[in-house]
Chains A and B, each alone.
Chain A
Amino acid sequence: MKYTPVIGLEVHVELKTKSKMFCRCSADYFGKKPNTHTCPVCLGLPGALPVPNKKAIEWCIMLGYALNCEIPPFSRFDRKNYFYPDLPKGYQISQYDQPFAVDGEVFIKQEPNSQNKEKKIDVRRVHMEEDTGKLIHEGDLTLIDFNRSGVPLVEIVTEPDFVNPFEVTEYLKSLKQIVRYLGISNADMEKGEMRLEPNISLRKEGEKRPSYKVEVKNINSFKFVERAIEFELARQREILDKGETPVQETRGFIEKTQSTVSQRIKEEASDYRYFPEPDIPPFRWTDEQRNNWKTEVKNLLEEARKNSPKEKANFYVGLGVSNASGASISASKYRTQVFEAVIKENILPKEQLGKFGNFLANKPEEKIDQNLVPNLTKQLINQFKSSTTTADIDDKELDKAIELVLRENETAVSDYKRGKENAIMFLVGQVMHNFPQKIDASKVKASLLAKIK
């Protein structure tokens, strides 16, 4: 039997606002002492009320625009009621039928051998909600840390448009890049700032839509999403081949075994008893507000794309830097900063920029403060200059040294003549060894070549 994979994605992104979604506690909870970033609101104490974070809402809407969504003029928060010990109010403030952004699309690269270069993925909705606390299991005890409770979360839901893990990864890469370009989250997967939940099923030939859906949770890397999807597709295919239907359920990804296991069986959608959050008045956006956000997003993305590593690398190559060095510089914030400073301040003559770029590309990566860049640039320029200043040498002395080296390294010479180009660099090195001072390698190479031919 032939099956087509039907894969959709739910992605949660934690925004990097200063304060939490509904109170003034710091949202920077990662690695902090448990329950130190809390207040009556995020602890859900009696009488406490949520006051929405304006910045977070703006960022959510901007992400909506960046994903080519519609921003409805009317929107509101709803309560999603369910019990879990990490949910202090007994409900999560989320959005149900009036999210901030709907009906978007993202274009992704397709597998190298496919017919079309690009594929459109539909984004169903982008909505805002609050994160929960964190349960920590210690032996028989379960402890709760509420530092994460109320941290702003944006959920991005796609239509089930993906047919293979490659497409999923391409989408995720592009989503992560957009989030970073907008500067609204670091989307650091290891810190849980970006969480992935694929829903996976197989559609039989002739079938309109599969009769079941499997959700996989607990995935914290792009690699694992691929693994989870591959594993699920194989598992489901096996079940379908037997003439059975896979169970509709939520499964967890187990890193150790690179497989998924059943967590919770979902007969039908859980009853969260959604209703409009009475503590927060609904939102009505003006055309002006929406136009401003749209323009801001357009400008941010244009600016970011101009500054993207790929664009930068191309620009550096245009200055005479090798392809590899261009990529190496643009991939590093530190090297980019130094190189841009050198270009901007005309520290070196234009024709030396390429050489300096190649020199810089081989310097080890360093984490540095913005303020230290000028000093470091000065140091590197000095190193570069001393490495390129060469002593003048007498032509006769050079000829003598070359002849000596050619005589002593006949194998290398014949290797070179047979087409082994590397051999010439070996000979250059040998010649240079004959001089105590630093001499110009390109001059040595030119003389050597003249002699060999």
Chain B
Amino acid sequence: MDYLKLKEFLIMTELNSLTIKQAKEGLIKREFSSFDLTEACLAQIEKVDKKINAFIKPIAPTYDDVVSAARKADKLLSSNQDLPLLGIPIAVKDNFSTMGIRTTASSKVLDDYIPPYDATVVKKLKDAGAVLIGKTNMDAWAHGSSTETSDYGSTKNPWNTKHLPGGSSGGSAAAVAADEAIAAIGSETAGSIRQPASWCGVVGLKPTYGRVSRYGVIAMASSLDSPGPITKTVEDSALLLRVLAGTDEFDATTSLPPVGDYTLPVVDNKIKNLKIGISDEYFIDGIDKEVESAVRLSIEKLEKMGAKIVKINLVKPKYATSVYTIIQRSEVSSNLARYDGVRFGKDRKLFGEEAKRRIVLGTYSLSSGYYNQYYNRAAKARSLIVNDFEKAFEKVNVILGPTSPSLPLHAGASENAAMFGEIADILVEPSSIAGLPGINIPIGFSKSMLPIGMQIIGRQFAEDLVLQVAHQYEMATANENWRKKRPNL
């Protein structure tokens, strides 16, 4: 079979549309090789990425490197090596340092930066046998919720390329939705995993702050950044989290609680008598009607499955937005100081509008005389939000709500909208501020065929419960018609 024929064949077999779990089964049963699987993803990238631009070009690592990693995985597979991600092609957001592979965080300032070390997450993926298939596009420095602020062109929503994929992990979410990778890694400061997952119709998990190491992740807001998986199913999310989670000797903020086996089979009665908190404050004024009714319908489904729906009152999300904005901008202004052009990277004038705005605002809020008025007050308000959630979790096991107040917005919507991200992420900011785990799961489509997502939030380190609830919902709705839809690219 010549190469072109092989590619056609691979696209036909749709190996690239498999989940991690399905791909693993196929690899172990020798139905196909990691090489086949990887080639299928590469073929899909070649076919569709010019339309959605989920990867930063030129795609790094090179074709030869990707293929040789797949072949290496095949060798290990043939000697019956059992690694959790052996031979699985995974895309990684471009703010994760990859040794010897260009890492730009979508900013031209780092256009020629090649890290001499791997982020802990990348090292864990490699150790687990994964094949790094490419670095995905993002908002520059992760500043945004649209992937439109990338210096390498914006990413488009695979379900409708006239719409935004969300961000900042828009490239990772789009790559998974478009079956360009079996799974992807994103990072969230407040919304950057869940919101693009919602807009692209995939599963995105933001773990508890400190559950997954930040070492090697180009810092956005250090007290909030949380790396996590973006996948096709909740099961895959659990599988990836198990690989990524854990204390890291290179990150002092990683936490001690032992890593759970998030992949354990789900006990059937998890939903029965589960107390699910719903806060009216999360169905904010101006929420998209289709989003609201889809989420309310999902709540009814959960109720039918035996869950108890409990009304709770949470602090209005808009207060979290203020707190988040000040803390995040302050930390950004300090974190970006090292890009002074003295030792590596390019001139500072290559910083985009958004980064410059954040540096100025953050510098201002930390200045003497303003520190107490802004940063200090925000830090105090932050602990109020933490307490607010703690109180809520005395009454309920998980909290549920829409992930985004809107459907994916039109391309160009973020231009000249300085607070675009903060508004798009208003419903994920409170839990981010509190460092809580949360997951987005797709629950259907709008009439215009755009994805709708729902989020489930748990108390700190309750990833296992959050994943189990999400998984059971996914299982119970597995046969709903909308799940059969594929992006038409």
Q: Which chain B residues (100-147) contact chain A, with CB distance < 8 Å?
A: 103, 105, 110, 113, 115-117, 119
Contact partner of B216 among A43, A47, A276, CB < 8 A?
A47
Cα distance, A81 to B337, chains bound together (Å)? 8
Contact call A48/B103, Cβ cutoff below 8 A: no
Q: Which residues of B have CB within 8 Å of A46?
A: 97, 103, 105, 110, 113, 115, 218-219, 338
Contact mask for chain A residues 20-47; partner B; CB cutoff 8 A; 1 contact, 0 none = 0000000000000000000010011111
Q: Tell me whether B390 is interfacial, beta carbon within 8 Å.
A: no
Q: Tell me whether A374 is interfacial, beta carbon within 8 Å.
A: no
CB distance from A167 to the nearest CB of B (A): 33
Q: Which chain A residues (43-57) contact chain B, with CB distance < 8 Å?
A: 43-52
CB distance from B221 to the nearest CB of A (A): 8
Closest partner residue, chain A, to B327 (CB atom): A278
CB distance from B209 to the nearest CB of A (A): 10
Contact call A49/B337, Cβ cutoff below 8 A: no
Q: Which residues of B have CB within 8 Å of A47?
A: 95-97, 115, 119, 214-219
Q: Tell me whether B79 is interfacial, beta carbon within 8 Å.
A: no
Cα distance, A424 to B223, chains bound together (Å)? 84
User: Using a Cβ–Cβ cut-off of 8 Å, how many residues does chain A contribute to the interface with B?
Assistant: 30
Contact call A48/B366, Cβ cutoff below 8 A: no
Interface of A is mostly: loop
User: Using a Cβ–Cβ cut-off of 8 Å, how many residues does chain B contribute to the interface with A?
Assistant: 43
CB distance from A271 to the nearest CB of B (A): 5
Contact call B253/A279, Cβ cutoff below 8 A: yes
Contact call A90/B340, Cβ cutoff below 8 A: yes
CB distance from A53 to the nearest CB of B (A): 11
Q: Which residues of B have CB within 8 Å of A91?
A: 334, 337
Contact call B215/A49, Cβ cutoff below 8 A: yes
Contact call A89/B252, Cβ cutoff below 8 A: no
Given contacts A49-B215, A50-B252, contact A279 B222 (CB under 8 A): yes
Cα distance, A238 to B428, chains bound together (Å)? 65
Closest partner residue, chain A, to B337 (CB atom): A90
Cα distance, A154 to B315, chains bound together (Å)? 43
Cα distance, A158 to B364, chains bound together (Å)? 32
Closest partner residue, chain B, to A44 (CB atom): B338
Contact partner of A273 among B221, B336, B367, CB < 8 A?
B367
Q: Which chain A residues (71-99) contact chain B, with CB distance < 8 Å?
A: 79, 81, 83, 85, 88-91
Cα distance, A83 to B116, chains bound together (Å)? 24
Cα distance, A46 to B250, chains bound together (Å)? 14
Q: Tell me whether B39 is interfacial, beta carbon within 8 Å.
A: no
Q: Which residues of B have CB within 8 Å of A285?
A: none
Q: Tell me whether A183 is interfacial, beta carbon within 8 Å.
A: no
Q: Tell me whether B371 is interfacial, beta carbon within 8 Å.
A: yes
Q: Which residues of A have CB within 8 Å of B252?
A: 49-52, 279-281
Q: Tell me whether B331 is interfacial, beta carbon within 8 Å.
A: yes
Cα distance, A82 to B23, chains bound together (Å)? 50
Contact call A273/B368, Cβ cutoff below 8 A: yes
Given contacts A47-B218, A91-B334, contact A275 B366 (CB under 8 A): yes
Closest partner residue, chain B, to A43 (CB atom): B343
Q: Which residues of A have CB within 8 Å of B216?
A: 40, 47-48
Contact call B363/A273, Cβ cutoff below 8 A: yes
Q: Tell me whether B375 is interfacial, beta carbon within 8 Å.
A: yes
Contact partner of A83 among B110, B219, B331, B337, CB < 8 A?
B337
Q: Which chain A residues (301-323) contact chain B, with CB distance < 8 Å?
A: none
Contact call A275/B330, Cβ cutoff below 8 A: yes
CB distance from B16 to the nearest CB of A (A): 29
Q: Tell me whether B342 is interfacial, beta carbon within 8 Å.
A: yes
Given contacts A51-B252, A81-B334, A281-B253, contact A45 B116 (CB under 8 A): yes
Cα distance, A277 to B478, chains bound together (Å)? 45
CB distance from A150 to the nearest CB of B (A): 14
Cα distance, A190 to B253, chains bound together (Å)? 38
Q: Tell me whether A269 is interfacial, beta carbon within 8 Å.
A: yes
Q: Tell me whether A144 is interfacial, beta carbon within 8 Å.
A: yes
Q: Which residues of A have CB within 8 Å of B115?
A: 40, 45-47
Closest partner residue, chain A, to B222 (CB atom): A278
Cα distance, A279 to B216, chains bound together (Å)? 13
Contact call A81/B366, Cβ cutoff below 8 A: yes
Q: Which residues of A have CB within 8 Å of B119?
A: 47
Q: Tell me whether B249 is interfacial, beta carbon within 8 Å.
A: yes
Q: Tell me whether B251 is interfacial, beta carbon within 8 Å.
A: yes
Residue picked from A40, A273, A279, most chain B C-beta under 10 Å: A273
Contact mask for chain B residues 370-388; partner A; CB cutoff 8 A; 1 contact, 0 none = 0100010001000000000
CB distance from B206 to the nearest CB of A (A): 17
Contact call A79/B334, Cβ cutoff below 8 A: yes
Cα distance, A88 to B115, chains bound together (Å)? 16
CB distance from A84 to the nearest CB of B (A): 10
Contact partner of A85 among B117, B217, B342, B363, CB < 8 A?
B342
Cα distance, A144 to B363, chains bound together (Å)? 27
Contact mask for chain A residues 165-185; partner B; CB cutoff 8 A; 1 contact, 0 none = 000000000000000000000
CB distance from A270 to the nearest CB of B (A): 9
Cα distance, A279 to B223, chains bound together (Å)? 7
Residue picked from A79, A144, A269, A276, most chain B C-beta under 10 Å: A79
CB distance from A38 to the nearest CB of B (A): 10
Contact call B368/A271, Cβ cutoff below 8 A: yes
Contact call A89/B375, Cβ cutoff below 8 A: no
Q: Which residues of A have CB within 8 Å of B96?
A: 47
Contact call B338/A273, Cβ cutoff below 8 A: no
Q: Which residues of B have CB within 8 Å of A79?
A: 334
CB distance from B126 to the nearest CB of A (A): 16
Cα distance, A177 to B99, chains bound together (Å)? 46
Q: Which chain A residues (253-306) contact chain B, with CB distance < 8 Å?
A: 269, 271, 273-276, 278-281
Sample 22 A-B pairs with CB under 8 A, ordered by A number. A46-B97, A46-B218, A46-B338, A47-B96, A47-B216, A47-B218, A49-B214, A49-B250, A49-B252, A51-B252, A81-B333, A88-B343, A90-B336, A91-B334, A91-B337, A273-B334, A275-B331, A275-B371, A278-B223, A280-B252, A281-B252, A281-B253
* Given A47-B218, A278-B253, 13 more pairs with CB closer than 8 A: A45-B117, A46-B105, A46-B115, A46-B219, A47-B96, A50-B252, A51-B251, A90-B337, A273-B366, A275-B334, A275-B371, A275-B375, A281-B252
A-B pairs, top 10 by smallest CB distance, nearest first, are: A90-B337, A278-B223, A273-B366, A278-B222, A47-B216, A46-B218, A47-B97, A90-B338, A51-B252, A44-B338
